[in-house]
Structure 1
């Protein structure tokens, strides 16, 4: 698929590849790191793979470039374009396109930036199948004390992913909110919360002898260094303050059809 795209459009527009595919296809002269595409004035990123590939590509960009996904994975909720339609779709896009902005979560630990998230941030016990107690604060006020395996903090985009599997509601993309979903909570009263996106969420591990790990968009993150390129791994303890807020830099998804969100949910998730 990558070679076909290059062969079809290479004479019409400048086509660059992320470093690994460029090496594999013997096109090193076209290779560039995804993280450097913005400074090279790339206008559109075409992600070939599943939703995970899209998430990884977005995570590499501080200010995400508009992205479109060619579906080569399983569910393909974010990857809208089927391979058989890819060339036709791209031929239309190179003449102009519009995109929708989706808010991301910014994760920091002890005041240091860790990573942005388009789907979810998960705080989970570092010991498998061991319950842990978290305190959740919203704008400095205690929202809840949760005993559970962990907690999912999801965007509307992420509400159809891990949060949904954990029993959280599906949120329409035009609703500016974050959902908080306990994972296997101990109390029946521990239910999901929906809060405005602009609120600041703070998390603490309450028990001094227990630790947690942070997972962003399915990847365990490394929490001590403030850059995405050079983080350092460690567990979160009761002495740490985890903060989640709106990222300054939203993700941008190219619109390829006028399909209604609820129709997409029905087609992809039934």
Structure 2
């Protein structure tokens, strides 16, 4: 099914060692996160590392299926833990897996986001903006910033901002104020068909999955909506489920 396999690993000894073993077993190409300098063609990316490594792999190889092994303490995007790699590869080679699709977000002239987009104010300044949903005014936001989150991102930065936990394959987009200076400002869950427009009243900075993209001037409007392409992940029968991972946050 997959003819060209790339093993992409976090730049630490454990991840690199595991990646080398998997690459040798599958006769695949291995590249570390720190060493990648050119585009590779691949039908499947095996990712070794934490959620940050998975997000970077998705940024570099959008929509190419990812088979993920977590080498950190907690990995919401990991199919299996690193120590279970041999059983995982055996199940994979016998095609005992499914591909799970995850919603991503897009914004004009910006890379797609798997977790979230964030617009926040400049250092020490109040952020103010007006928000429209499908061209209907939702109201103003005052605070540190605003998050536009996917279901996958609901257990990332959005969670620490008081956003709802959303099942990863749900068809929703969440809009979450960051430290709002308003009693009535609360997160809202929208359909994934929604188009969100945020017009800044104060200077802001735009981020995608934690990576700074650009500054945004007052009176400028930034638009967000569901991306055309999804992220795809290999899941095995023995993959840990979403609720098991949630229990590790307690």
Q: TM-score w.r.t. structure 2 length?
A: 0.86
Which residue of 2 is the match for residue 248 of structure 1? 228
- Mapped partners of 1:130, 1:254: distance in 2: 43
Deviation of the 1:74 alpha carbon: 3.3
Q: Is the CA contact (8 Å cut-off) linking 1:215 and 1:221 kept in structure 2?
A: yes
Which residue of 2 is the match for residue 60 of structure 1? 60
Q: How many residues align?
A: 231
The yes-or-no answer on 1:261 pairing with 2:242 is yes
Deviation of the 1:261 alpha carbon: 2.6
Deviation of the 1:19 alpha carbon: 6.7
Deviations 1:67-126 (CA, angstroms, capped at 9, x unpaired): 022111232111232121112201221232321100100022xxxx21101100000012
Q: TM-score w.r.t. structure 1 length?
A: 0.80
Q: Is the CA contact (8 Å cut-off) linking 2:23 and 2:30 kept in structure 1?
A: no
- Mapped partners of 1:204, 1:17: distance in 2: 44
- Mapped partners of 1:44, 1:130: distance in 2: 44
The yes-or-no answer on 1:104 pairing with 2:96 is no
Q: Is the CA contact (8 Å cut-off) linking 1:133 and 1:146 kept in structure 2?
A: yes
User: Which runs of 5 or more residues in structure 1 are unaligned?
Assistant: 24-30, 223-234
Larger strand percent? 2
Q: Is the CA contact (8 Å cut-off) linking 1:16 and 1:32 kept in structure 2?
A: no
- C-alpha change, 1:260 and 1:69, in structure 2 (3 Å) is closer
Which residue of 1 is the match for residue 11 of structure 2? none
- Mapped partners of 1:172, 1:215: distance in 2: 23
Query: 149-158 or 87-96: which moved more?
Result: 87-96
- Mapped partners of 1:118, 1:146: distance in 2: 24
Determine which of 21, 40, 53 is the counterpart of 1:4.
Answer: 21
Which residue of 2 is the match for residue 187 of structure 1? 182
Deviation of the 1:259 alpha carbon: 4.6
- Mapped partners of 1:170, 1:56: distance in 2: 23
How is 1:91-240 mapped onto 2 (pairs within 5 angstroms)?
A: 91-96=90-95, 97-108=97-108, 113-127=109-123, 129-206=124-201, 210-222=202-214, 235-240=215-220
- Mapped partners of 1:94, 1:198: distance in 2: 37
- Mapped partners of 1:18, 1:86: distance in 2: 18
The yes-or-no answer on 1:17 pairing with 2:30 is yes
Which residue of 2 is the match for residue 232 of structure 1? none
| 1:73 match: secondary structure | coil
User: Which runs of 5 or more residues in structure 2 are unaligned?
Assistant: 1-17
- Mapped partners of 1:7, 1:47: distance in 2: 15
Query: 147-156 or 85-94: which moved more?
Result: 85-94
Deviations 1:7-62 (CA, angstroms, capped at 9, x unpaired): 2222xxxx1233767x6xxxxxxx884x442xxxx232111110000001101124
Deviation of the 1:193 alpha carbon: 0.7
RMSD: 1.9
